Structure formats: C-alpha cells, structure tokens
Amino acid sequence: MRFQQLLQMRRYASATLRRSVTATTPTPATTTTTTTVRTMAGSGAAIPELTQITDNVQRGNYAELNDKDVAHFEKLLGKNHVLTEDLEGYNICFLKRIRGNSKLVLKPGNTEEVAAILRHCNERKLAVVPQGGNTGLVGGSVPICDEIVLSLQRLNKVLSVDEVTGIAVVESGCILENFDQRAREVGLTVPLDLGAKASCHIGGNVSTNAGGVRVVRYGNLHGSVLGVEAVLANGQVLDLMSNFKKDNTGYHMKHLFIGSEGTLGVITKLSMLCPHTSKSVNVAFIGLNSFDDVLKTFVSAKRNLGEILSSCELIDERALNTALEQFKFLNAPISGYPFYMLIETSGSNGDHDEEKINQFIGDGMEKGEILDGTVTGDPGKVQEIWKIREMVPLGLIEKSFCFKYDISLPLRDFYSIVDVMRERCGPLATVVCGYGHLGDSNLHLNVSCEEFNDAIYKKVEPFVYEYTSKLKGSISAEHGIGFLKKDYLHYSKDPVAINWMRDMKKMLDPNGILNPYKVLN
C-alpha cells in the first residue's frame, strides 16, 4: 500500500514537469549559438589600449622583425600566407582585454612549414605566439608586444576516423565542431564540447587542456588524447603520436604539451579516443530554491543516473537573466528560481534512460529539492536547452566588460564566493553571478561592469585568488594561466613545482621564443 502511494506521488510529481519527449515535430537544430561565436570578434567592450603600455610590460630581449625575415617567410609559405596588414583580429583577445602589436601573421600549411618557421625564429631570436581559434579567455593566444602570430588555421584536416578503434587523427587547426561532425559520420563523437566549438581549434583545446561540459562523463584531455605531434622551439618535430590507449614506453611526454598553452611547443597533429555516439540523450532543465538543494540534487544525480549521467551544469538566476535579456531568441522553459541545473543523460536504451531520469526528477520533486523543470529527449529541444547554457558567458560580455574566473572549489564552498564578491563589489559591478561545471567542481565567477576600471579590478583581484587558495582550490580549472593569471600562479602551485616548470621551459625553449610573457612570470 505504502509503495503504491509512493508510486502515485511519483507519477503526479513527474506530470507537473513539462515533458516534451513526445513532441511530434522536432525543432530544427539552429545554429544561432555557433554563428554568434563565429562572427563575434570578442566582447562588446571598447578596443583597449596596447597591453604593453597598460601593463608596463618590459619587452624581452628579442630581435626586431625586418624585411629580410618577411621575404624569407614569403618564400617559404607563399605571399598569400604571410600577412602584414589588417592584423587587428589576431592582435586582440576574445574578451577585448589584451591587445598586442604584432606586425606579422604566418599561416603554415603543414608540419614541415611550422618547423621551418620556428627554426628561423629560433636562429634569429624572434618571439612567436601560436594561435588557434583565438577564443581563449586568459590572454594567452595574442601577442603582448610584437610577437609573430603563428596561426594554425590552415592545418585543418581530419586525417582519419576509425569506427572500430574509435581513434581519430586530426590536424591541430581543425575547428572542434567540424571535427565532431566528421566523427559523427561514423557514429563516434569527440569527447569534448564547449560553447566556443564553432571557432576554437582542437589544437587550441589540447594546448589549454580545455574542459567543457562533458568532463563529468569522459574525463579531461589527458585521458582522451592518445598522442601528439609537436614542433619544438628549435624546429625539431617531436613525434609522440600513438594509436593505443595503453603505451607504457618510458616517460609520457605527450602530457607536457596538453595544457602548456603554446609555451613548450606547437602542436601540429594529435590522435584522440572518441566514444561511440549515444543512442539516447535526455536533458533536464530544473529550478531549485537553494544551493543546498543543488548539492542534494547533484548527489542524487550521481547515485541514481550513474553511468548515463553525461553533464551536470549550474546556472544562477542572474547569469540566466542576463543571457535572456541580451538574446531574445532564447527560450527558457522555466523562470523565477534562484538556481537552475542542466542535467544530461546519454545512454544506449531510450526507454530505460527516460525512466531513470523521470524517476530521478520525480524523487527530487517529492523531496521538495527540485521545484519545476523540463525534460526532453527531442534532439531539437535538447539543443535549444543547451543553447541557453552556451549563451550565458556571451550574455555577460554582450554589452559590458567582464572579469571572468574559472576556479575549482570544494563543492560545499562552491557558491559562497559569488555572494561574497557581490557584497565586495557593490554598485561598481552591474552583474556578479556564478555558473559552470558543477559536476567537476568548476565554478565560473563572472563580474561585469560597464567598462574596465581599476576600482573594480582591485576589488576582485587578488581577492578571488586568495579566497580560492585558502580553500585549497585551483585558480584555473580549465581556461589556463595565459597572460592574465601568470602573476597568481603561486596561489595554486608550490614554489618547487614552479621552479621545475621554469627549468623545463628553459630546456625545451632556451631562447624563450615560444609564447613569452605567458604562464610563468
């Protein structure tokens, strides 16, 4: 009897959700999100002054580019692939915070050309910044002074995708979304997904060890990347390609290039383990009253969705409302809650997965932890819900300047910094909000204001790093250190480790030509 009553309650609770699995006409997949990223040069902020001036950067002891160098590169690559004009887009970072003054952009078409460029630059002591899709958020992909921009745009081929092994080999300049489309043609999927997928390169992703929304399921790139080919500062090609998951032949040097942000070598090619595409994908977008309920729901998702849980994202009210205000095409299924979670399941049995996610939501509603929401398995609607999450970081920069942080924090203390920061900034900030990859303990704290100003900058930094460090968190969960965080590395890294990093940098790049002014200060 008790069991029956419980079942009835479950059904009632689930029925209050606006479920759209059975929608007859699937919503066509739109490309609004990706188009926005592709066409946006960066944020709505004003063009900044040169970073060398604003940040008083002492130019390194590098040679000055001359006509002979340009002629050398033209001979090597062909005139079309050597740019000396209209370089603004290559000099400014996505957030319009960092601006360099490069006079030369090189676009090699293969590994040998990358090697020849670096050989010349190393001999001449010319500094170089490797650049992928230029979507990085820490000022790592643009010059700080007059470094040559080495764009990987032309190394854009997917070389092979093996349906049997699940291993794909791809050139580093391939756009993530294009790579994923190719993998999907044979029933595989790239285990990495992020809002910048229409612009970022797979090589940029590996160089930053990008996280994104599926780490909770597939882990990070140190696991998925099986091998890399990298060109060292002296032009030597280091072949660390591997087509096997298991390969214990000595030191695992590929890891040096995953997340080293172009400071140790230029990645030209890589192999990646791609999982088989899931037959059934369901997404729930739910509203909750408190962060305590968010944590309870996360624990329940892990316990009850287990092996099919593929994403667990958090969005707070201010983050959602800002995106909705800026992008009228977004359709939020629910509104009026302090917190929202986007929970995705991916599995191989539609009925089973649907039953599981319904039961999980029903339980949460019965306990009063989940207040309302939508669950859908319709591919078009799944995409519509994901679009809301993907547009959140862009909403915050659409018409403002935004300080963005990607910190790892213990889950119990995950959200408190947002309230603390809001209090600290007061009216100086227009929006202080938190969202991110709850499933990986990775919070995105965003503080936006009308334009960059020192008063708010000083309120936010180094406070955010001190706070994170006190909780033994990480000051960079996924975006990297780049230029913006290099002075704060010590908040998360032991001095002995930092010294070893310096020694490794010196060994691999003795002239310091690769991405100077980044990662290490």
Interface residue list for ligand 2HG (CB under 6 A): 137, 195, 393, 404, 406, 436, 444, 446
Packing angle between helix 350-366 and helix 2-15, nearest 10 degrees?
A: 100
Helix (H), strand (E) at residue 159: strand 158-161
Instruction: Identify the residue whose tokens are 């643009």.
Output: 142
> In a 3-state reduction of DSSP, which class is residue 455?
helix
Smallest separation (angstroms) from ligand FAD to the CB of 444: 8
Pairing relationship of beta strands 148-151 and 128-131 according to DSSP bridges: parallel
CA atoms within a 13 Å half-sphere pointing along the CA-CB vector of 310: 21
Name the binder of 404 from ligand 2HG, ligand FAD, none, CB < 5-8 A by kind. ligand 2HG
Q: State how far the Cα of 267 lies from the Cα of 161, in Å rounded to an integer.
A: 19
C-beta closer to ligand 2HG: residue 116 or 447: 447
Q: Which does 444 bind (CB under 5 to 8 A by kind): ligand FAD, ligand 2HG, none?
A: ligand 2HG
Rg (CA), the chain: 23
User: 210 vs 429, which CB is nearer to ligand FAD?
Assistant: 210
Q: Which amino acid is at 254?
A: K
Which does residue 362 bind out of ligand 2HG, ligand FAD, none, counting CB within 5 to 8 angstroms by kind? none
Least distance between ligand 2HG and beta carbon 517 (Å): 22
Q: Which is nearer to ligand 2HG, 14 or 446 (CB)?
A: 446
Question: Could you give the CA distance from residue 400 to residue 402 in angstroms, rounded to a whole number?
Answer: 6
Yes or no: say if 54 and 144 are a contact pair by the CB < 8 Å rule: no
Nearer to ligand 2HG, 269 or 404 (CB): 404
Residue 446 touches which of ligand FAD, ligand 2HG, none (CB < 5 to 8 A by kind)? Answer: ligand 2HG
Which partner, ligand FAD, ligand 2HG, none, binds residue 509 by CB below 5 to 8 Å per kind? none
Cα(148)–Cα(106) distance, rounded to whole angstroms? Answer: 7
Q: Name which of ligand 2HG, ligand FAD, none residue 227 binds, using a CB cut-off of 5 to 8 Å depending on partner kind.
A: none
Min separation Cβ 178 and ligand 2HG, Å = 20
**Rounded CA separation 418/333 (Å):** 25
Q: Which is nearer to ligand FAD, 231 or 309 (CB)?
A: 231
Residue closer to ligand 2HG by CB (options 210, 273) is 210
CB of 136 to ligand FAD, least distance (A): 3
Tokens 């909770």 appear where?
A: 216
Tell me which of ligand FAD, ligand 2HG, none is bound by residue 488, counting a contact when its beta carbon lies within the kind-specific cut-off of 5 to 8 angstroms. Answer: none
CB atoms within 10 A of CB 71: 11
Q: Which residues of 187-222 are buried (b: 16+ CB within 10 A; e: fewer)?
A: ebbbbbbbbbbbbbbbbbbbbbbbbbbbbbbbebbe
Please name the residues in contact with 210: beta carbons below 8 A apart, sequence gap of 6 or more: 192, 194, 200, 204, 221, 478
Residues sharing a CB contact under 8 Å with residue 379, sequence separation 6 or more, in sequence order:
26, 29, 281
The residue of the chain with the least Cβ separation from ligand 2HG equals 393
Confirm if 482 and 262 have CB atoms less than 8 A apart.
Answer: no
Q: CB of 265: closest distance to ligand FAD in angstroms? A: 7
Minimum distance of ligand 2HG from residue 435's CB (angstroms): 7
Instruction: State which residue, 273 or 397, has the beta carbon closest to ligand FAD.
Output: 397
- The binding site for ligand FAD (CB under 6 A) comprises 37, 94, 129-137, 140-141, 152, 172, 194-196, 200-201, 203-205, 207-208, 210-212, 261-262, 266-267, 393-394, 478-479, 482, 515
Nearest approach, Cβ of 482 to ligand FAD (angstroms)?
6
Residue 119's identity, in one-letter code, is R
Residue 156 or 430 with smaller CB distance to ligand FAD: 156
Least distance from C-beta 445 to ligand 2HG, angstroms? 8
State in angstroms the smallest separation of the CB of 36 from ligand FAD: 9
The two three-digit tokens of residue 382, written as one number: 């799944």
